[in-house]
Structure 1
Amino acid sequence: MRLFIEVPVWLGDTIMASVAVENVMTHFKGAEVVVFGSKVATEVYKAHPSVSSVEVDESKQSKNRWQWLYQKTKTLGEFDLAVSFRRQWSTRFLLWCVNARQKARYRRLDKASIHQVKRYNDFAAHVLGVALPLGDLVLPFAPHSFARPTLGLNPGATYGSAKRWYPEEFAKVAIALSSTHDIVIFGGPSEQDIALEIETLLHEAHVTNVQNLAGKTTIAQLCAYIGGLAWFITNDSGPLHVSAAYKVNTVAIFGPTMNTETHGWHNPNERIVKLDLPCQPCMKRVCPLGHHACMRGVKAKDVLDKIALLA
């Protein structure tokens, strides 16, 4: 039995799909599993014990994307099932090229506002024709062991600026907890500026027990570090779902997006900070009204109050 599984592009979506992917692999226990996807997404599965190999989608870097996808599929052999957790046109083409007896491309089966984890799992259950359990998120990395209780800050959000809380407010939270916690700032290569801004504010407040890891970690290191945190403050972004997988004490700040669909799945230690404005949720990358009130109105005290409730 050979399975071809295309995972979502983004880290957060890949982790939210992990429940469904795990169920598919368990259903076909012992099968040879090939995972295909972006470099970020496939990093999650490189160390997975049930995955035989990972194939990175480099088609966007090719001169001819469609030719690259076609040629790539011809090197992978035959499959019994090819399933994709993506909806894009490129996925339609990819599945057309893959040599598989059964093929399935992700689609929403329920128009109601439900968690994305359930959407992915419902799709997998529909493909297999069986009921599938809604378990925990799955990451194969052991949590890092910090020398002292550590607070993690995640000020970035790849999807767009509308989801980002403000650096000065992140810094205020870190300053308030710096006497009892070391501080680690996370972020991707494109988020180094905002991470540096927070680091500068902390140094100006004479907080020296801070480490800025923005742009300096692999996906495996990012997951392991977040998994070992005492507290995590984050926007609605991929690392939020990393913290949920490890059930880390988390305060998640939501502005333009729907927390009912993308909060930390099965994390009893998560608390959500969200205003109740008439313009929420707009689901836009940039505030369409220009005031960004849904995030600007959230203050450090709001986050610290949530931490006090969890402590």
Structure 2
Amino acid sequence: MKILVELPELIEDTVMITPAVQNLLKYYKDADITFVGSSISTKLFVNDKKINSLVVEETRKSIFSLLSLFRLAKSLGEQDLVVSFKKDFYSKFFLFFINCEKKFNFVDNMENIHKVEKYNNFINTVLESDYRAGDLMLNFKPQWNKKSTFGIHAGSTYANVKRWNAKEFAKVAIKLSSKYDVVLLGGQNEIDICSDIEDELKANGIENYTNLAGKTSVPQLVEKIAGLDLFLTIDSGPMQIAAVYRVNTIVVPTSYEKIELISQWRNPWETIIYKHVDPYSEDENEDYIPRSEDVLSLFKF
């Protein structure tokens, strides 16, 4: 039995499909499994011995990429089952040219349920089964620290999301630095905001911090997050990684409309800092992004 699985592009979705993937692997215990995905998503499975092959595919979403998708589809050979956790045109194009009779693209049924359950329901439809969504799973060991460590992930893949500015993150880090060593985490997109946070820490005489933005591979990022004692993040891929290891996590959402549907799956140590009504506003329905004080109110000093 040969099975091809197309992964989501982003870390957050790739982590959230892992219960569904585990159910797929449970159903087809001895299958030859190939995962196709971005360089980011595939790296999350480099330690998974159940996966026979990882194929990196970086589609730039242009008409020129269709030829490379066609070539990749043909190079993968005959498959018995193809499952894609993507739903865009490029994924459908890719699947069309794969030599397989049974092909399934993820369909968002718009149900008001957690995204982990949406992905799991999709696999149940494929398998005609009724598996429950289990725990999130990544096969990396935590990198433990000698001292209690507080991690910050301040950025996002999307530059236009509503998020805290560097000073708000820095205020929390400065206050907690008396109890924790501080580590700033993120990819290339987070280098600038982490540098701004670092500048604030330096200006306030904080020395027990490390800025790792842009300096870790995906596996190293997972290991670092897994070993944290406390984590402050926006709703993002690192937030989902922290959920895998049940890290004590404080989430400042970029959007409150869907946060419950993408919150940490089965992490009892998650705290979401919800929006507040400004008591001084004339508009009773006006809301604003939480302040650093709202996070610090969780602690006793």
Measured against the shorter chain, the TM-score band is over 0.9
Whole-Å separation in 1 of the counterparts to 2:288 and 2:90: 34
Residues 176-255 of structure 1 correspond to what in structure 2 (within 5 A)?
176-255=175-254
Which residue number corresponds to residue 112 of structure 2? 113
The change in CA–CA distance for 1:154 and 1:139 in structure 2 (over 3 A counts) is same
- Identify which range, 218-227 or 159-168, moves more after superposition: 159-168
Alpha-carbon deviation of 1:76?
A: 1.2
Whole-Å separation in 1 of the counterparts to 2:28 and 2:277: 46
Match for 1:37: what amino acid?
Answer: G
Alpha-carbon deviation of 1:277?
A: 6.1
Question: More helix per residue: 1 or 2?
Answer: 1
* 1:95-116 deviation line (CA, Å, top 9, x unaligned): 101111310000023x332111
Which residue number corresponds to residue 300 of structure 1? 292
Alpha-carbon deviation of 1:212?
A: 0.4
Identity of aligned residues (%): 36
The change in CA–CA distance for 1:91 and 1:145 in structure 2 (over 3 A counts) is same
Whole-Å separation in 1 of the counterparts to 2:159 and 2:248: 25
Whole-Å separation in 2 of the counterparts to 1:75 and 1:15: 27
- Conserved? CA contact 1:81–1:102, under 8 Å: yes
The change in CA–CA distance for 1:293 and 1:186 in structure 2 (over 3 A counts) is farther
- Conserved? CA contact 2:42–2:56, under 8 Å: yes
Residues 62-73 of structure 1 correspond to what in structure 2 (within 5 A)?
64-73=64-73
TM-score by length of structure 1 reads 0.90
* 1:117-137 deviation line (CA, Å, top 9, x unaligned): 111111111111001121111
Which residue number corresponds to residue 126 of structure 2? 127
Q: Which runs of 5+ in 1 are unaligned?
A: 279-291
- Identify which range, 58-67 or 228-237, moves more after superposition: 58-67
User: What secondary structure is seen at the aligned counterpart in 2 of 1:77?
Assistant: coil
TM-score by length of structure 2 reads 0.93
Which residue number corresponds to residue 288 of structure 1? none
* 1:153-190 deviation line (CA, Å, top 9, x unaligned): 01101134333212111111111111121000011112
Alpha-carbon deviation of 1:293?
A: 5.7
User: What secondary structure is seen at the aligned counterpart in 2 of 1:36?
Assistant: strand
Whole-Å separation in 2 of the counterparts to 1:264 and 1:163: 19
Residues 1-311 of structure 1 correspond to what in structure 2 (within 5 A)?
1-60=1-60, 64-109=64-109, 111-257=110-256, 258-275=258-275, 294-295=288-289, 298-307=290-299
Alpha-carbon deviation of 1:58?
A: 2.8
Alpha-carbon deviation of 1:300?
A: 1.3
